Amino acid sequence: AQSVTQLGSHVSVSEGALVLLRCNYSSSVPPYLFWYVQYPNQGLQLLLKYTSAATLVKGINGFEAEFKKSETSFHLTKPSAHMSDAAEYFCAVSENTGFQKLVFGTGTRLLVSP
């Protein structure tokens, strides 16, 4: 069975600082990996995805993530945080097969201070 672990339910950074949100996964088959962002009272928006192509994936809003098979990780980074990045971030995994069923982590709330 697949699973996702997001370390840290809350991460606080200062505006302009590096953002690092951690995600580790468990999967018995080659995974697809996703990061979603959720702003208050809104649905989830896809930030980026890994689907077995390039291991360094670039997404929207300056975010990127690197797939590291040896570490079973897919951490999300952004070089310089903006106030508008404050939101909840979810990592998700699905099997690299025909029908997609996502398994989500419990989320990390990013707080950005001026």
Partner 1 sequence: SQTIHQWPATLVQPVGSPLSLECTVEGTSNPNLYWYRQAAGRGLQLLFYSVGIGQISSEVPQNLSASRPQDRQFILSSKKLLLSDSGFYLCAWTTLETQYFGPGTRLLVL
| Binding piece for partner 1, criterion CB under 8 A, among 20-28, 34-42, 64-72, 76-84 | 34-42
The phi-psi region of residue 12 (left if phi > 0; otherwise alpha if psi is between -120 and 50; otherwise beta) is beta
* Angle at the Cα of 5 from the Cα atoms of 43 and 94, rounded to 5 degrees: 65
Site string for partner 1, 38-67 (x = CB under 8 A): ---xxxxxx--x-x----------------
Site size toward partner 1, by CB under 8 A: 22
Q: Which of 94, 82, 87 is nearest to 30 (CA)?
A: 94
| Binding piece for partner 1, criterion CB under 8 A, among 17-25, 55-63, 69-77, 99-107 | 99-107
Choose between 17 and 44: whose C-beta lies nearer to partner 1: 44
Beta bridge partners of 56: 66
What's the token pair of residue 12?
Answer: 């606080």
Contact residues: partner 1, CB under 8 A: 32, 34, 36, 41-46, 49, 51, 90, 94, 96, 99-102, 104-107
